[in-house]
Amino acid sequence: MSKIIVIIPRKCCDFGGAFSVYEGLSLLPEVELQTFETFNPTIDTKLVIGFGWTPLKKNGFSYKTAFVFCSPILQCEFSNELNLLNGKIQEVNKGVLDYLFLLHKSDADALSSIWGEKIIYLPPLFNKKLPEPQFESRRGICCGGMARGNKNYYNQSLAFAISKYKDQELYTFGDKPELFKLSESLFKQNWKWFDWKPNEEYYNILRRMKLGLQVSLSESFCYFVLELSLLKIPSVVSKTVWWYAQDPLLRECIVEDPDDPLEIKEKIEKVLDDDSFYRILCERSYNTAKEILENNLENVKKILGEILSV
């Protein structure tokens, strides 16, 4: 039987960063994915990891509990999640919750120095089957993220509008079309919107993109850039997509100042102007993403193994 059960509310079993993290944990052989509604521990269960709600202990079982908090602190400020984070820390402090997992390493390191070693950095995993990369007929740039302040839609749209590639299609996904309508009015942009539900249709659209844009103000990991990388599509990003800097050449894609549309424009043109350079970036982004995920898997195995051994 499974030693670790990972649970999430059924309403979240569709798409989103939390669901991707939840699904990624199924790469571990001792893990079983369940929902809160169908949660059914056994005598062999040693750890229950929850998303959305704190997993409660059931009478007759002695498993440990953990909660995964996905957002970095700056994003918490934009999305009003700081109270939730504080609540989970206090649950750990009171012993209601055994561990709090954070996906943002520097936040985890800082908070654990205050609250102790039960606040742990959990490297994100990814367990989705993507279609084969497509190089023929690539056209368009995709600006990622949902309608949140930290995604910085307008600055990226403005940068694209003044680039030499402004006649290409500009794609995005989200839940507030009025954001895109305002951008169209301000910058003479013609946004192409598609639904953000990672499935076959979503990935078939995504793999036709030439370039990704994610010059955001905060990220814990950024699955959008990861998905593009695994489709061999590079992205122009901010420093918050820290794993991009693992490759010296990919650092050419990193914007120093997310508040500078001229710098974002220069990066877009640098990536797309030279086809041979672009092709190299495609391979480098793919290899970097694969290496990061392999390292993360080994680190997660180690972290959970240590918890189970206590």
Spatial distance between the Cα atoms of 167 and 113, rounded to a whole number of angstroms: 50
Q: Which of 50-64, 201-215, 289-303 has the highest mean pLDDT?
A: 289-303
Q: So what's the pLDDT on residue 98?
A: 96
Res 106 pLDDT > 90:
yes
Q: So what's the pLDDT on residue 137?
A: 84
Res 10 pLDDT > 90:
no
Spatial distance between the Cα atoms of 184 and 82, rounded to a whole number of angstroms: 33
- What percent of the chain shows pLDDT beyond 70? 95
For the residues 45-59, what does the mean pLDDT come to? 90
Q: So what's the pLDDT on residue 1?
A: 55
Tokens of 9: 């509310």
Q: So what's the pLDDT on residue 205?
A: 87
Res 146 pLDDT > 70:
no
Res 99 pLDDT > 60:
yes
For the residues 130-139, what does the mean pLDDT come to? 89
Q: So what's the pLDDT on residue 59?
A: 81
Q: Which of 197, 150, 203 is nearest to 174 (CA)?
A: 197
For the residues 25-41, what does the mean pLDDT come to? 93
Q: So what's the pLDDT on residue 85?
A: 95
Mean pLDDT is lowest, of 60-64, 83-87, 96-100, for 60-64
Tokens of 4: 């670790």
Q: What is the pLDDT of residues 162-200, one digit of tens each?
A: 999 998 888 887 666 677 788 888 988 878 877 766 677
Q: So what's the pLDDT on residue 165?
A: 93
Q: What is the pLDDT of residues 245-271, one digit of tens each?
A: 999 999 999 999 999 999 999 999 999
Alpha-carbon Rg for the chain in angstroms:
20
For each of the domains in the chain, give its residue range(s) and CATH number, in order of start. Answer: 4-122 (no CATH), 141-291 (3.40.50.2000)
Helix axes 153-161, 261-273, angle to 10 degrees: 60
Q: So what's the pLDDT on residue 252?
A: 94
